[in-house]
Homo-oligomer: A and B are copies of this chain.
Amino acid sequence: MEWLEASTENCPVQRTLDVVGEKWMLLILRDTANGVRRFDDFRRHMGLSEAVLSDRLRKLTAVGILRTVPYQEQGSRVRNEYRLTRKGWDLWPVLVALRQWGESYAPDPEGPVLDMRHADCGAEVRVVVECVQDHTALAPKDVHAQPGPGARRRA
């Protein structure tokens, strides 16, 4: 089957974007991956309205990308913190890939805005597409992509 004959309905890129393909969702995940956990911190940091932020946090929790953990500060009511689940952390390569493109094509003149380094050796990190066998970093021309067993013919 050729790519053009395959239905896009169950395309894995499309299915991911159906869940997190909205800018604020990805930006909330960016903040969460950088340690932000509390509603007011998200709101102030991102300049989001309470309504939009509540809605996105609720959706991300409902699909199991974030989980809530209750906390209580003295004199306050119990509130929820938001943390990435394993399913949420598995979106980390998406975020790092978006960052990498932004640092390349919309850079700040002062240098990297978010510095990411290997904790062990201090070297920079990058996203690569690699072969699972020999771990070679691959360019698009090194990869054959074609509809797999789950592909359906377009109606």
A residues sitting closer than 8 Å to B (CB atoms) are 3-4, 6, 8, 10-19, 21-23, 26-27, 30-31, 33-36, 41, 44-47, 87, 89-121, 123-138, 140-152, 154
Checking B103, B125, B132 against A124 with a beta-carbon cut-off of 8 angstroms, the contacting residue is: B132
Docked complex Cα distance between A93 and B36 (Å): 25
Are B90 and A4 interface neighbours, CB within 8 A?
no
Q: A-side binding surface: helix, strand, loop or mixed?
A: mixed
> A128: shortest Cβ distance to chain B, in Å?
6
> A42: shortest Cβ distance to chain B, in Å?
10
Assembly of this chain: how many copies?
2
Known: A118-B138, A145-B116. A13 touches B99 (CB 8 A): yes
Known: A4-B45, A16-B98, A97-B93. A133 touches B113 (CB 8 A): no
Are B11 and A30 interface neighbours, CB within 8 A?
yes
Docked complex Cα distance between A6 and B34 (Å): 11
Docked complex Cα distance between A148 and B110 (Å): 9
* Chain B positions within 8 Å of A137 at CB level: 130, 135
Docked complex Cα distance between A41 and B3 (Å): 11
Known: A102-B16, A112-B150, A145-B34. A130 touches B131 (CB 8 A): no
The residue of chain B having its C-beta at the shortest distance from the C-beta of A131 within the complex is: B118
20 CB-based A-B contacts, threshold 8 Å: A4-B41, A12-B99, A12-B101, A12-B102, A12-B107, A12-B113, A16-B101, A17-B98, A18-B106, A87-B105, A91-B97, A92-B129, A93-B100, A112-B150, A115-B144, A118-B133, A118-B134, A121-B133, A123-B131, A135-B137
